[in-house]
Structure 1
Amino acid sequence: MDYFEMMAWMGSLPLWWIVPLYLVVAFLFAWVFGSVAKEMDH
């Protein structure tokens, strides 16, 4: 699956499905970043 196929697949997803997905991904990134920052402090 190449980049354009993936973009087309993402574009075909309903919005109510994409928004929670992005929120979960953003939360995970924030949590990982926070954990790494905390580790760096020590």
Structure 2
Amino acid sequence: IDERTQHTSRIRFLVDHVGRLVANRRFVSVMNTAGKDRERD
């Protein structure tokens, strides 16, 4: 039971980490597109 709990928490940690990375990339891409729009004006 202990091993399974550790495994689940590890998976949750990985999912949380990946989710943050994806959100960070989206934020960066949004900032980049916003910067490009400003340059056009």
TM-score of Structure 1 vs Structure 2, range by shorter chain: 0.5 to 0.7
> RMSD of the alignment, in Å?
1.4
Stretches of 4+ aligned residues off by more than 2 angstroms: none
Unaligned stretches of 5+ in structure 2?
1-9
Higher helix share goes to which structure? 2
Larger radius of gyration: 2
TM-score (norm 2): 0.68
TM-score by length of 1: 0.66
Percent of aligned pairs with the same amino acid: 10
Give ranges in structure 1 of 5+ residues lacking alignment: 1-12
